[in-house]
Amino acid sequence: MTDHGLLSRTKCTLGEGPLWHPERQTLLWFDILGHRLFEHDGSAERSWPLDRAASAAGWVDRDRLLIATETDLCLFDLATGKADSLVPLEADNPGTRSNDGRADPYGGFWIGTMGHAGEAGAGAIYRYHRGELRVLYPGISIPNATCFSPDGQFAFFTDLPTGVIQRVALDAEGWPKGTPFPWLDLSGEGLNPDGAVIDAQGNLWSAQWGAGRVACYDPEGGFVRALDLPTPQTTCPAFGGADLSRLFVTSAAEGRPAEDRLAGCTFTLEPGLRGQAEHRVIL
C-alpha cells in the first residue's frame, strides 16, 4: 500500500473504535492504551488527551459523543473537551476496561469489557438504552465485532479467542431475543475476528488481528474477498467519507518491531461498496 492509503501516520499503541461522524464529516478514533481521542477531517488531525482508557463512541449530536471508558459511559463535548459521566461501567473492578462498541439502529449503544490482559471470561457485553445499562452476555474474554444488519433485525458480536462471530435477533426495542448462534466460524482458519462493520448491502467486514487484512463476508457468512493492509495488527473498520464509500481501518503498534513503520497507523481503502451511516445514540 502506498501513502495515499494512509489517513493518519500517528502511531497508536492500540488504535480502536473508528467512527465516521455523519454531521461533522470526520473520522474519530481512539488509542486505548495511549489514552487519547483523535479526529481527522481528511486534511488535518487533532486530538484530545484522556485521563483513562477509552475505546469506542457513538454520536449524540454534532459536538457530543457517548464514550466508553474503563470506568464509565460518559458524554464528551468535542467543542470544550469536557466529559460528564452518565453511568458507571465496571467502575468497581480495576481489572477491566472497555473494548469494542457501536451504536445500534434503535438509539442504543453496545459495549464490551475485558480484562487488561485479556483474561478468560473477565469481561461482558452490555447495552445502554435510554439511561439503562444492562448486561447482555457475561463471561466474555475479548468482546469484538459489534455491528448490526441494515434492517435492524440482527446484532453480531464475537469473543475473539473463540474465532466465532455470533448473530442474535433483536426485538422491537433493539434488545436481544432468543439465543445467539454461530454465524461465522473462523477458528479452523486460525483467524482472529477483531472489530467489524456491516455495509449497506448487509456484508460484514471483519478486521482480523494478526492477519493484516479486512475480510468481507456476505449476509449468509460466505467469504467474498479480503483487502490486505501493510501491518498485521488490524483492529477495526468503519465506513465513511461523503458518500460512505471509504473504509477506514485502525491498527495497533503494541508489540510490533520498530521496522514496522506503519503499525498503529490509520488507513483508508476504497472497497467499491457503501456503508451504513452510523446510528445516533438517543440519551
Q: Where in the sequence numbering do the catalytic residues fall? A: 194
Contact assessment for residue 61 and residue 23, using Cβ atoms and an 8 Å cutoff: yes
Contact assessment for residue 186 and residue 193, using Cβ atoms and an 8 Å cutoff: yes
Please give the backbone phi and psi of residue 186, each rounded to the nearest 5 degrees, phi first.
-105, 5
**Residue 136 zone, left/alpha/beta (φ > 0; ψ -120 to 50; rest):** alpha
**Residue 70 zone, left/alpha/beta (φ > 0; ψ -120 to 50; rest):** alpha
Question: Residue 264 and residue 270: Cα distance in Å, rounded?
Answer: 20
Q: Which residues contact 175 (CB under 8 A, 6 or more apart)?
A: 127, 129, 134
